[in-house]
Amino acid sequence: MSNNAPKPHPHMDRILRVIDYIHTQAADDLSLDQLADVAAMSRFHWHRVFTAIMGASPAQIIRSVRMHKATMLLLRTDLPIAQIAAHVGYSNDRSFSRTFKDIYGQTPTAFRNAGFPGMAPHPNPQGVSNVFDVDIQTTSDKRLAALSHRGDYAEGSVAYQKVATIISTGNHWPQTRGMAGVYYDNPEVTPTEDLRSHAGVLWEGGAIPDGLEEVQLTGGRYAVLHFKGPYAGLAEAYRYVYGPWLSSSQESLRDAPSFEHYLNDPTNTAPADLLTDIYMPLEG
């Protein structure tokens, strides 16, 4: 660290440790006292420090992490609802189902049956569906201040929350333009453990903050798909732009990774109202 660089927040490493614990131990008792022990901070003060840094209370973060894990289990497995509830820290399926419905507007069973809640029917193979709004934009080069993640893309939220912690503790938000992620591999053909991604913020400051690395996003022409809804539906959005949209547009993809720009915060936004722009690089 240079002599002129700001000193890291004294509690940054403690909050990062709590975030890791919430993600890896979502099925366990995540009481404030237990998390205070993980943070090695006073039970009287730690949750106020956490909320000030994260912009959301520990309870909000825990609920967000647990419900995200639950959506993945509902969509990817045939586990009974009671088992899914237990996997994400609920002692009975009634309280789990009530919380789930409060957030997603439907029961876990209805969510599973719908596949991707709030989505219109799948586009047909001729590519004539107007399910998603896509336009072409020309962008300048961008910089991402990021953390790398390897493994299941659905488990990448831990990296985003760590990035948010580093940005918050350094008072860097004015130098950012929202959260973004770069995804390098196709999860349909790449083993889950080998999936590579970067989670970060679009950075408009000078030096990248300590603890994060710089990722260059090359400017040029991009197809930008505007998606509204739970992140669980993003996979279908990618299928649409790779299939029907690309076929009907006659565009060619450039040799560069796609990236996602997240326009609001999942910790305080209803899943149905989440906004994501998917940038697909085009030739020309």
Residue 134 confidence (pLDDT):
96
Closest by Cα among 165, 160, 142, 167 to 6: 167
Residue 119 confidence (pLDDT):
36
Q: Which domains does the chain carry?
A: 12-114 (1.10.10.60), 133-281 (3.20.80.10)
Measured CA to CA, the distance from residue 176 to residue 145 in angstroms comes to 9
pLDDT digits (tens, 9 = 90+) for 147-173: 999 999 888 889 999 999 999 999 999
Residue 224 confidence (pLDDT):
98
Average pLDDT over residues 1-28: 78
Residue 11 confidence (pLDDT):
80
3-state secondary structure (DSSP) of residue 206: coil
Measured CA to CA, the distance from residue 115 to residue 232 in angstroms comes to 9
| Cα 193 from chain centroid (whole Å) | 18
Largest CA distance in the chain: 61
Average pLDDT over residues 247-260: 92
Residue 211 confidence (pLDDT):
94
3-state secondary structure (DSSP) of residue 43: coil
3-state secondary structure (DSSP) of residue 243: helix
Q: What single-letter DSSP state applies at residue 201? A: E
- Identify the sign of the CA torsion 70, 74, 76, 78: positive
pLDDT at 140 over 60: yes
3-state secondary structure (DSSP) of residue 238: helix
Measured CA to CA, the distance from residue 209 to residue 41 in angstroms comes to 25
The b-or-e profile of 128-164 (16+ CB within 10 A means b, else e) is ebeebebeeeeeeebbbbbbebebebbbbbbbbbbbb
3-state secondary structure (DSSP) of residue 181: strand
Mean pLDDT in the chain? 88
Structure tokens, 163: 């990035």
- In sequence order, what are the residues at sequence separation of 6 or more whose Cβ sits closer than 8 angstroms to the Cβ of residue 153? 183, 187, 195, 197
Higher pLDDT, 44 or 39: 39
Average pLDDT over residues 104-121: 72
- pTM for the complete prediction? 0.77
Q: 106: how many CB neighbours lie within 10 A of its CB?
A: 16
